[in-house]
Amino acid sequence: MKERKLYSLTGKLIVFLLLIVFAASALFGGIQTLMLSSVGLTPNAAAKKYAFEETTACGTLVQRQLHNVMSYYNDMSKFGTNGRYDGTKEIDYRAFATDGEGSGGISTTYTIDQLVKMYDDGSSADLNEVAAYTADNYATNDAGIDKEAYLAYEDGTDVSQETEETDVAALTEEVSAADAETFDSFSPDGEVYFPSDNAVKSLKEKKIDPADVSSQFLYLYDQGMSLETQKTKAGTYLYEYAAANLKKVSIRDLYMTLSGVTEEVAAFKNQESGISVDADDANLWYCLEDKEGNIYTNVDSWKNGYTTAIAQKSPYPFAFAVDRTGGADKVRSYATRKNSPAVEAARSYLLNNQIADNYQKIFVALDPDLAASDYFSQYSEIYSQWLPKMQLLLLMIAVGGIGTLVCLVLFTLQAGRNGKNKEIRLYFFDQWYTEIAAAAAILIVMGAVGIVAVCIELSYGGVHYIQNFDGNYIYSGSYGNEADTWRSLVAASGILAGFLITLIPYCSLVRRIKARNVWKQSFLYCVGHRIVSAGRTFYEGRQESERTILMFCVFCGVQIILCCGFGMFGVFLTLVMDAAVLLLLLREASGRKQIEHGLKEIAAGDLDYKIDLTELQGEDNLQLAGIVNSLGEGMKAAVQEQMKSERLKADLITNVSHDIKTPLTSIINYVDLLKRENIENEKAKDYIRVLDEKSQRLKQLTEDLVEASKISPEILNWNS
């Protein structure tokens, strides 16, 4: 009765609803816990009752912000003045990029603001693009070819290729016979560039003949005229500087180098916006002393340096110091919990990061009150809000996970079972060919994955992340409020919907497995079964000798194809086939030996002997062994039937003999009485004598028949 309730419609509905509830609980708890771990609230942190300032997430956030601070001050000497960004500071970018070896003086000098503008408007990137990539298409050794020849055609016809070929032919004629073998060095190895009118005019104003420079220079000169937006301190553009110094300066190198410098300067400018130089605007307080004795701090009372900073003792939730002046790193924690995960994360960064090596003394601390509005205060608020709820989330995960597994097992047991008689019930989808059903299942699963992806994108697509120095991500949204709880609910709902959708093909597969038609319902099976049936019909219609010859021919044909068509691999497959056939023949021979032994046992009189069919291989052996087993049973039945017949005969003879013997005894007695009478008639005496002889003879025959009926069954039993 209980089993029928489990398989009833009500039972299935209850299990399905419980599955949804448990799965939703586990998913929401898991997603919420995962997101909370990004702000340091892990099960381990909750169990050890860490404050946010003691978590690994806090230490990682310290790593990132401290990395930005030290990188900023590390670049300050190059791009700033007196510890501040200075847009009017002038930089010879060529000397900057080559550590002073390639100075162009005022002709390659820009202000910081100019370099930032070139980065922002994209001109430096465009110049790098044409110099690093497009310029490769144009020849670098074709100086001497007249690139203005096309101007002679008034109709505007493009005869650049004709011009190029004509000029190359002219150059060839000018080369002496002695230098003919080295003419390749004069040939253009790229396209010939025809400069614009403005470029030709500009070059001629500088008394430069376009025919005296390469196509690559002309291309870059032309592009520079349209792309350069800032003049150098000399009041000129870089293409003008390159034209004035053709034998000393590469215009291509000028543009490629400019792009790298503008990127570095812009990165420094952007980095400044994330650096808090005032303790009132940041919860991370720092004091850095570099190798030259420069002090960088955002706390006014620490401007005297490292010693002053560590002397101002305070119950910092996080504080850490490094002193390298003695030749070895002296590391000390000033936090309330000295060996917290946050301290260890900061320690690892400061002792192993190359940028940190530039500073001799470092002191870092967090504001005990986290008064400033930044990531630290935001994360701390989220952490405190969810810390009391962590046990509930873990309980949801545990109960939901176990409940989901139990319900999924019950759901699997219920699938396809009829509530009345527990018979397997297949639906329309289950009647499809297995291959078609599998394709439909794949589409269903893909749709489920799409739903999950859309829900996750809707939930967390707008969330931003920051990255710490070793590549790990830290959550940076306003996590913990109603909106973000809603994000988790939407994400969990999407995953749950995808899970429930995948149950459709899963249940179909379970029903097919229970009905044992996964293979039999497949298209391959249907086609293969028909082919095999047709082959079997043809095969069985032949004589035994023809079958053997046919199988041998097929076997030889397959081996010939393998050897001729697949080389050594085919030979290997042939050997494998031969080994398989040998193994099959050996097993067939072993089976025939068992059959022979069974025949001998039956011939010896053991009619109950049976050949074990489980160890036999081959359809012929199994069929023959079945016949032998049936033979023993048939002989045993025949013997039993014969013995029964003999017993019936013996009983019949005994009964008949008894019936004959009773009147015969009376006859003999009456004959004996007649013999005692004094009968004178000779003929009567003769009758009595004959009657006496015959009655005695009949008596003897009757006794012999009774004795024979007793002996015959015993003889049969003894012979058997």
Q: How confident is the model at residue 173 (pLDDT cuts 50, 70, 90)?
A: very low
| Same domain assignment for residues 350 and 212 | no
- Return the percentage of the chain with pLDDT > 70, whole number: 80
pLDDT digits (tens, 9 = 90+) for 416-455: 777 666 677 777 777 787 788 888 888 888 888 888 788 7
Q: Tell me which residue has tokens 């017993």.
A: 647
- How many domains are contained in the chain? 5
The mean per-residue pLDDT over the stretch 401-418 comes to 88
Among residues 372, 407, 425, the one where a domain terminates is 372
Q: Residue 621: inside a domain, yes or no?
A: no
The Cα–Cα gap between 639 and 720 comes to 8
Q: What is the DSSP string of 634-699?
A: HHHHHHHHHHHHHHHHHHHHHHHHHHHHHHHHHHHHHHHHHHHS----HHHHHHHHHHHHHHHHHH
The mean per-residue pLDDT over the stretch 574-601 comes to 78
pLDDT over threshold 70, residue 154:
no
Q: Residue 345: inside a domain, yes or no?
A: yes
Q: Which residues contact 370 (CB under 8 A, 6 or more apart)?
A: 53, 283, 376, 377, 380
- Contact indicator for 559, 574 with CB cutoff of 8 Å: yes
| pLDDT attached to residue 57 | 86
| Same domain assignment for residues 241 and 287 | no
Question: Cα torsion at 174, 177, 178, 183 (round to 10°)?
Answer: 60
pLDDT: is 259 or 521 the higher one? 259
Mean pLDDT, the chain, rounded, equals: 77
| Same domain assignment for residues 143 and 234 | yes
The mean per-residue pLDDT over the stretch 386-407 comes to 92
The mean per-residue pLDDT over the stretch 611-627 comes to 70
Sign of CA dihedral 513, 517, 520, 521: negative
Q: What is the pTM of this model?
A: 0.55
| Same domain assignment for residues 239 and 112 | yes
| Same domain assignment for residues 73 and 91 | no
pLDDT digits (tens, 9 = 90+) for 202-242: 988 888 888 888 888 999 999 999 999 999 999 999 999 98
Q: How confident is the model at residue 466 (pLDDT cuts 50, 70, 90)?
A: very low
DSSP-assigned letter for residue 401: H
The mean per-residue pLDDT over the stretch 464-482 comes to 41
Q: Residue 622: inside a domain, yes or no?
A: no
DSSP-assigned letter for residue 193: P
| Same domain assignment for residues 409 and 297 | no
Q: By mean pLDDT, which of 35-39, 119-123, 253-257, 619-623 is the weakest?
A: 619-623
The mean per-residue pLDDT over the stretch 526-537 comes to 75
| Same domain assignment for residues 193 and 235 | yes
| Same domain assignment for residues 609 and 683 | no
The mean per-residue pLDDT over the stretch 149-169 comes to 42
Q: Residue 636: inside a domain, yes or no?
A: no
The mean per-residue pLDDT over the stretch 166-187 comes to 40
| pLDDT attached to residue 394 | 92
Residue 173 structural domain: 87-272
Which phi-psi region, left, alpha or beta, contains residue 545 (left: φ > 0; alpha: ψ -120 to 50)?
A: alpha
Among residues 307, 342, 372, the one where a domain terminates is 372
pLDDT over threshold 60, residue 170:
no
- Contact indicator for 512, 430 with CB cutoff of 8 Å: yes
The mean per-residue pLDDT over the stretch 640-658 comes to 76
pLDDT: is 513 or 146 the higher one? 513
Among residues 219, 250, 272, the one where a domain terminates is 272
| Same domain assignment for residues 62 and 117 | no
| Same domain assignment for residues 358 and 390 | no
- Residue 309 vs residues 175, 288, 361, 440: alpha-carbon distances, Å: 78, 10, 11, 69
pLDDT over threshold 90, residue 110:
yes
Which phi-psi region, left, alpha or beta, contains residue 422 (left: φ > 0; alpha: ψ -120 to 50)?
A: left
DSSP-assigned letter for residue 139: -
| Same domain assignment for residues 601 and 686 | no
pLDDT over threshold 90, residue 492:
no
Q: Residue 534: inside a domain, yes or no?
A: yes
| pLDDT attached to residue 2 | 53
pLDDT: is 188 or 651 the higher one? 651
- Return the percentage of the chain with pLDDT > 90, whole number: 11
Q: Residue 220: inside a domain, yes or no?
A: yes
pLDDT: is 263 or 690 the higher one? 263
pLDDT: is 491 or 422 the higher one? 491
Element (H, E) at 632: helix 619-676
Helices (H) and strands (E) in the chain, counts: 23, 11
Give the pairing type, strands 84-85 and 80-81: antiparallel
- Contact indicator for 149, 170 with CB cutoff of 8 Å: no
Q: How confident is the model at residue 8 (pLDDT cuts 50, 70, 90)?
A: confident
The mean per-residue pLDDT over the stretch 574-589 comes to 80
| Same domain assignment for residues 400 and 510 | yes
Q: Which residues contact 151 (CB under 8 A, 6 or more apart)?
A: none
Q: Residue 620: inside a domain, yes or no?
A: no
Q: How confident is the model at residue 477 (pLDDT cuts 50, 70, 90)?
A: very low
Q: What is the DSSP string of 439-469?
A: HHHHHHHHHHHHHHHHHHHHHHTT--EEE-T
pLDDT digits (tens, 9 = 90+) for 129-145: 999 888 888 887 766 66
Q: Residue 632: inside a domain, yes or no?
A: no
Q: Which residues contact 713 (CB under 8 A, 6 or more apart)?
A: 643, 646, 647, 650
CA 168 vs. chain centroid, Å, equals: 59
The mean per-residue pLDDT over the stretch 484-490 comes to 78
pLDDT over threshold 50, residue 175:
no
pLDDT over threshold 60, residue 183:
no
What is the CATH number for 662? 1.10.287
